[in-house]
A and B are shown apart, each in its own frame.
Chain A
Amino acid sequence: MLEFSGRRHRMVRGLLSPYIDGRLSQKDERLVDEHLSQCAECRRELEELRNTVQLLQRLPAVAPARSFAVSESQVRARSAETSGSPLGTLRLATAALVLLLALVVAGDLWRTSTPAPRQAAPSAVQASPAPAGAAESRAAQPPSSPEQGVSPQAEPRPQMGAAKGREPSATDQLVSPVPSPSPTLPQVTATITAGEVREAHHVLKDWPLRQIEFGLLGLLIVAGAAFVFLRRKTI
């Protein structure tokens, strides 16, 4: 019971300031009124707070000794100051970063949309047990031009039926140089292996651009945040 009243006492003390300003809800106001009728300490504190507010309200306004009208020269000086401020530099830096990021992203898109060089593919296939899977994977990505899709230079395995749109058949598995215990398992393994090889190829080929993109994006976020912060600070 004592603990409850101590807690209420502390709570009411925290409400005395908005109570003076009439900013309490009806419920809180009733709570404060009720407590004040029983607590002399809070009544005294309320009176002291009221006196403090009255003293502040009666603090005389000080008349400025001079006018603060803005002159043309002050405006010019400020303009010159602002043009050399970090805000202007940041604005330029942000614009440059956006442009650079756009260029890098465009370059990256161009690289990924053009067919990957296949020099690595034959060796991968030679080392890989699954040429059929590689062909199937290529079949899933239709060529952008007929020349690209069937060119012997671009396609080192013209014997693969799947590369020309045919579903891989059980006979495709026979082409695989690695014998396998079951007819379905080698196909899955081969697909993954070829996919992995190609994926690794792409990742290795692209990682510097991705790094640059993320780096630029990070810098852009930092520059944008600094710009917003400085602008708010200036105003």
Chain B
Amino acid sequence: MDETDLVSRSQRGDLASFNQLVEVYQAQVYNLALRMLSGIAEAQDVTQETFIAAFHAIKSFRGGDLRVWLLRIAANRCRDELRKRRRRPTASLDAILLDPQAPAFGSPEPGPENHVLRDELAQCINRGLASIPEDQRLAVILSDVQGLSYEEIAGVMNTSLGTVKSRISRGRAHLRSYLMAQGELLPGQYRHD
């Protein structure tokens, strides 16, 4: 059954069909939430809430890109969570655990040393992402981590292409400054000594 059929059935209240869509998109929604919120428990909650809200609102989905629509709901939920967190600050950056089965990061060679380096680097990047303003972070994650086009990002963020371009640009510049300041963590090819 293709996506359009699954959406139509979901719009008629078929939960089983909707859950097939959940299987397709849950990793992407979860990763967006994880990068935005930097906490596993919050990311899981937001991902679950996103799909529950999406099932309730799917009747209002008028076609188009389902991934963009789901990521928009997830982005709004992340903003709500960050707003709540500002009222009740709880640091959970260090709670991030990376998938040990994930492909090598930072270096093409596998091995325990590279694994440690990969984890440290990933933590460093996550800290860098957490240090940049919320809208810029969302734009950078959607662009460089999730691989969305500028047009898709504009759809997720409900804003203009010019704003998307500017947020990505400023977000990358912030992150670049942060990573350069953490020079010793970066793999050799990324360092300027």
Residues of B within 8 A of A10 (CB): none
- Does residue A222 face the partner (Cβ distance < 8 Å to B)? no
Alpha-carbon distance A54/B125, docked complex (angstroms): 12
- Does residue A63 face the partner (Cβ distance < 8 Å to B)? yes
The A contact surface, by secondary structure, is helix
Contact A55 B121 (CB under 8 A): yes
Residue from B52, B102, B168 within 8 A of A62 (CB atoms): B102
CB-defined interface of A31-67 with B at 8 Å, one 1/0 digit per residue? Answer: 0000000000000110011011111111111111111
Alpha-carbon distance A131/B62, docked complex (angstroms): 67
- Does residue B98 face the partner (Cβ distance < 8 Å to A)? yes
Q: How large is the interface on A (under 10, 10 to 19, 20 to 34, 35 or more residues)?
A: 35 or more
Q: How large is the interface on B (under 10, 10 to 19, 20 to 34, 35 or more residues)?
A: 35 or more
Contact B176 A48 (CB under 8 A): yes
- Does residue A126 face the partner (Cβ distance < 8 Å to B)? no
Contact B176 A60 (CB under 8 A): no
CB distance from B55 to the nearest CB of A (A): 5
CB distance from A115 to the nearest CB of B (A): 51
Contact B102 A44 (CB under 8 A): no
CB-defined interface of A115-157 with B at 8 Å, one 1/0 digit per residue? Answer: 0000000000000000000000000000000000000000000
- Does residue B44 face the partner (Cβ distance < 8 Å to A)? yes
Task: Give residues of chain B (152-193) contacting chain A, Cβ–Cβ below 8 Å.
Answer: 165, 168-169, 172-173, 175-176, 179-180, 186, 189-190, 192
Contact A233 B26 (CB under 8 A): no
Residues of B within 8 A of A64 (CB): 26-27, 30, 44, 47
Contact B106 A55 (CB under 8 A): yes
Stretch in A74-82, A98-106, A208-216 with 4+ CB within 8 Å of B: A74-82
- Does residue A185 face the partner (Cβ distance < 8 Å to B)? no
Chain A residues near B (Cβ < 8 Å)? 14, 16-18, 21, 23, 44-45, 48-49, 51-70, 72, 74-75, 78-79, 82, 233-235
Top 4 nearest A-B pairs (CB, nearest first) are: A60-B102, A17-B169, A56-B144, A69-B19
What are 25 of the A-B contact pairs (CB < 8 Å)? A14-B169, A17-B168, A18-B165, A48-B180, A48-B192, A49-B176, A51-B176, A51-B189, A52-B172, A54-B190, A55-B179, A55-B190, A57-B145, A58-B106, A62-B99, A63-B27, A63-B101, A67-B26, A68-B22, A68-B44, A70-B19, A78-B53, A82-B56, A235-B72, A235-B73
